[in-house]
Structure 1
Amino acid sequence: MGRFGAGLAGIVLAAVAGVSGCQKPDDAVRTGAGGSGIAIRYETPTGTDRDDAAFLRGRKVVEEAASAVSALVEVDRPISVGVVSCDGEGSSYDPEFTRVEVCYDEVSETRELFRRAGPGRADDDVAAVMLETLYHEMAHALVDVLGLRVRGREEDAADQFAALMLLRGGALGEQRLLAAADAWHLSEVTNEDADDGPDEHSSDGRRAVNHRCYVYGAASGRHRGLVGTDALPAERAKGCAREWSAIRAWWMTALAPRPRAG
């Protein structure tokens, strides 16, 4: 399933950790990132994914995410990131192989989502959404590898880690997280009549509001215009600074270096 739902090619949202149906061509290129055991592998894209693969390579989105995570935390078990043709299956984390899989076709899917909303959305916004996806799936890998005990739903914690990583980038990161929030909002609007069924994730609309709350909580002075609209209800905004502070503190404590055994 794709990242964004049924309004795009008749599919529903699914990026559930541990589920992967992506086909991996034999021809591939290997590269590396950082010193924390994160390795990137670009699989050969199928014909329809070639432009999307070129976009990710050119923008170095995957390398940026791997380098940022490497700079924040060290892991003893290697984590691999496969960039693959998924045929609509959606990005995921597979704990059996400690492998994040990110889908080429989500580039086109995200671009189409923004295109339907109107002109004016740049490829920077598409890259931002792909970064948020990468950080979300890497969060599942860190929970697994580090044996973290997450409070509440792991999918929500993974969204919060994605927000943490983007907001570490200051004003640029704030704009990137807002672009991801816009994508979740557009997905909700596009798929308002879809039957989502049981899901480990929060709704698309809630994920959009959560991301905006985190941006406002981290830098309220730059984002007062968010408050009091559907983007961020005023009642929710009142607690965003406290909420974001708690989320950031939890993740930074959880990722703090651990003494090595022996």
Structure 2
Amino acid sequence: MLELPITGKEEDVVDEFAAIMLLRGGEQEIEAVFSAMYQFEVDAQEAEELEDEISYWGVHSLDLQRFYNLACFVYGSDPEEYAYFIEEEYLPEERAEVCEYEYAQKERSWDILLGDYYK
């Protein structure tokens, strides 16, 4: 509808946009991000258990990658609140180091793209 430009895989962009917008909301919206994150983890585990062939050539990122990307956005939105992500191994320390920057960069990009449309 707005014909916004995207660079990257559409599904990844949708995950990113939804996570950033929902993380700005209240508890219910944040829970929606957690639900999506955990669903990607479950889907990845099920595929592994079924020994499904991984479609590296597919247009979608792998479920486990989508899990870690969402975990990174959540952590990056408030590293103090979500410090347990590292302790409970939802997120490797090496990835967590860049999540705050990554979240801020993505949030700023969406604000620039949508700034004229916010109400």
| TM-score, normalised relative to structure 2 | 0.85
Aligned to 2:52: 194
Question: For 1:103-133, what per-residue CA distance to the aligned partner results, in whole angstroms no more than 9, with x for missing partners?
Answer: xxxxxxxxxxxxxxxxxxxxxxxxxxxxxxx
Q: Which amino acid aligns with 1:158?
A: V
Matched, 1:233 2:78: no
Aligned to 2:76: 217
1:175 and 1:164 map into 2 onto residues whose CA distance is 13
Measured on the aligned residues, the alpha-carbon RMSD in Å equals: 1.7
Identity of aligned residues (%): 32
Q: Which amino acid aligns with 1:233?
A: P
* Higher RCO, Cα 8 Å, sep 6+: 2
1:229 and 1:204 map into 2 onto residues whose CA distance is 19
Please point out which of 32, 41, 47 is paired with 1:185. 41
Q: Which moved more, 1:236-245 or 1:189-198?
A: 189-198
Q: Compute the displacement of 1:238 (Å).
A: 0.6
Contact 1:213 1:232 (C-alpha < 8 Å) held by counterparts: yes
Q: Could you say what secondary structure the match of 1:148 adopts?
A: coil
Q: Compute the displacement of 1:230 (Å).
A: 4.0
Max Rg structure: 1
| TM-score, normalised relative to structure 1 | 0.41
2:26 and 2:106 map into 1 onto residues whose CA distance is 17
Please point out which of 1, 6, 9 is paired with 1:153. 9
Q: Please list every run of at least 4 consecutive aligned residues from structure 1 whose deviation after the TM superposition is greater than 3 angstroms.
A: none
1:222 and 1:172 map into 2 onto residues whose CA distance is 16
2:100 and 2:29 map into 1 onto residues whose CA distance is 17
Matches within 5 A, 1:1-262: 145-192=1-48, 193-197=51-55, 198-257=57-116
Contact 1:228 1:234 (C-alpha < 8 Å) held by counterparts: no
1:210 and 1:228 map into 2 onto residues whose CA distance is 17
2:54 and 2:82 map into 1 onto residues whose CA distance is 31
Contact 1:213 1:237 (C-alpha < 8 Å) held by counterparts: yes
Aligned to 1:11: none
Q: Compute the displacement of 1:228 (Å).
A: 4.8
